[in-house]
Amino acid sequence: IRPWTGPYNLFVVPASGGDVKQLTWNNQSEVAVTWTRDGKKIVFRGPTKSSWRSWLYTVSLDGEMREPMPLGEAAFGTFSQDGRFFAFNRKGLGRPWRKGYIGSADSDVWVADLEQGTFEKRTTYEGPDSWPLFAASGDIFFVSERGEAKNLWRLPRRGGKAQQVTRHEGPGVVHPAISPDGRTIVYQRKYTIWTVRTKGGKPKQVPIRIVGEPKRDLNEWVTYESRTDGFAVRPDGKRIAVTCRGELFTVPTGRAGDKVRVTKDPGRDRAPVYSPDGTKLAFT
């Protein structure tokens, strides 16, 4: 996704690097959601006539065969390992990371049987249940603020109550994604990245080391020994105004005193003249 062409559209690039290929050309923004299980198509979220509602579509890697998914209103979602089921949110285009939200944009977890064309609503919590992820086991993981912070929760495959998976306090879980084999979830927490196994275990923070540019002094010292093209002596004889390389400087006539740069303009400054009292400089 990149906004270089105006609204957000879909692009693909090889994971190892290479040419970027644009898949969609729309005057309204589109957001990638997931891949189909065979890896041949991308599921993306596109707007409808209402900016607060969205549908999910698929598009092939050659940019052809753009088709709506048979879900109705939908925002996020992932496929089961066999591709038959799709866990998704019908709502959630607002701000699913917003803390403490309860309102008309609450999102619940739904499951679509794509073969039978049937739907099942799996959660009814009064707050948002966002980003459903189908695990290899058939369990569904999602983010919910059923407590003091947003955490990962799990819906058992065969039904039953949601079970808490992570127990973060303060900044919660946002933007989770699941590995292609459905066994590892990665998510963002504040400015850090974490992983957790779907079969159990403690969440682990991923150590990320970013190598920045070496520290250096941004000041550049330059000595000019030539190419002065104009000068004026102050009436008291203690300083001289000099133009060099298009800029105006004043320097002492004796050994003591500071050298001062007077101008720093994109244009060329020259022909300095002191005022009679020596307090001002005129130049062109």
Q: All domains of the chain, ordered by start, with CATH?
A: 11-205 (2.120.10.30), 228-282 (no CATH)
Gap between the Cα atoms of 74 and 55, Å rounded: 5
pLDDT at 255: 82
Contacts of 263 (CB under 8 A, 6+ apart): 247, 248, 269, 283
What CA–CA distance (Å, rounded) separates 104 from 127?
9
CA distance 221 to 246: 17
Report which of 210, 145, 202, 152 is spatially closest to residue 178, judged by C-alpha positions. 152
Q: Which residue has the higher pLDDT, 47 or 86?
A: 86
Mean of pLDDT over the chain: 88
For residues 282 and 275, the answer to whether their CB atoms sit within 8 Å is: yes
Q: Average pLDDT, stretch 27-33?
A: 84
The residue written with tokens 């079970």 in the block is 163
Tokens 């005193």 correspond to: 257
Q: Are 186 and 203 in contact (CB under 8 A)?
A: no
Side by side, the strands of the sheet bearing 163-164 are 129-134, 140-144, 151-155, 163-164
pLDDT at position 56 over 60: yes
**CA separation, residue 84 to residues 54, 106, 167, 170 (Å):** 22, 26, 31, 37
Query: Highest mean pLDDT range out of 18-27, 174-183, 222-231?
Result: 174-183
Question: What's the pLDDT score for residue 116?
Answer: 96
Per-residue pLDDT tens digits for 102-150: 878 788 999 999 999 999 999 999 889 999 999 999 999 999 999 889 9
In the chain, how long is the greatest CA-to-CA distance? 98
Q: How confident is the model at residue 173 (pLDDT cuts 50, 70, 90)?
A: very high
Please name the residue that has the structure tokens 């052809």. 64
Determine the pLDDT at residue 96.
Answer: 63
pLDDT at 176 over 70: yes
